[in-house]
Structure 1
Amino acid sequence: MPTLLFHHPRELGDDTLAPLMDALHHCALDSGLFEARAIKVATLPLFHTRQAGEAKPFAMLQVRLFAGRTQEQRQALSTALLATINEHLGGHMSAIVEIVETDRATFSR
């Protein structure tokens, strides 16, 4: 943990996604909250996106991590990750970051 799941329009190509995934990994590592070997990053393409009833692309990063970080740590991580996404997407679409805490007692691997 953490697992960063980047939901994106299917039209985004590897030339955008590969460097973004590297940047998100480094951003999470630079937060000081995780060891490099624990960070997992993946992409999930979205089909037929809509915003306000219009066909419009957007991106979302869901960050799943074990409970125990402070609100300030989670907020700083969220802000840094969103800035990283916006740098790579160049303002071509809206993006959001959601931090989701996972209960260790119910997590299996």
Structure 2
Amino acid sequence: MPTLLFHHSGELSDDTLAPLMDALHHCALDSGLFEARAIKVATLPLFHTRQAGEAKPFAMLQVRLFAGRTQNQRLALSTALLSTINEHIGEHMSATVEMVETDRDTFSR
């Protein structure tokens, strides 16, 4: 853990996504909260997206991590990840980051 799931409108190309996935991995690693081997990053394209009833592209990063980080640590990570996303796609679409804590006692592997 963590797992970073990047949900995005389908029109983003591999030329944009591949460097973004690398940048998100490095951002999570640079936070000092995780070991490199524990970080998983994936894209999930979305189709027929709507914002406020209009066909508009958007992106959202869901960060799944085990409970136990402080609110300040989660906020710093969220802010850094959003900044990384905006560096890569800011002119194309709006983006959000959601932190989801996973209960280690109920997680199965």
Structure 2 length as normaliser, TM-score? 0.98
Q: Does 1:8 align with 2:8?
A: yes
Runs of 4+ in 1 over 4 A off after TM superposition: none
Residue 90 of structure 1 aligns with which residue? 90
Residue 43 of structure 1 aligns with which residue? 43
Q: Does 1:24 align with 2:28?
A: no
Q: Does 1:74 align with 2:74?
A: yes
Secondary structure at the residue paired with 1:55?
A: coil
After TM superposition, give the deviation of residue 9 of structure 1 in Å: 1.0
Secondary structure at the residue paired with 2:105?
A: helix
Cα distance in 2 for residues equivalent to 1:62 and 1:90: 17
Cα distance in 1 for residues equivalent to 2:17 and 2:108: 29
After TM superposition, give the deviation of residue 90 of structure 1 in Å: 3.2
For structure 1, the 5+ residue unaligned runs are: none
Residue 105 of structure 1 aligns with which residue? 105
Residue identity (%): 90
Secondary structure at the residue paired with 1:27?
A: helix
Residue 55 of structure 1 aligns with which residue? 55
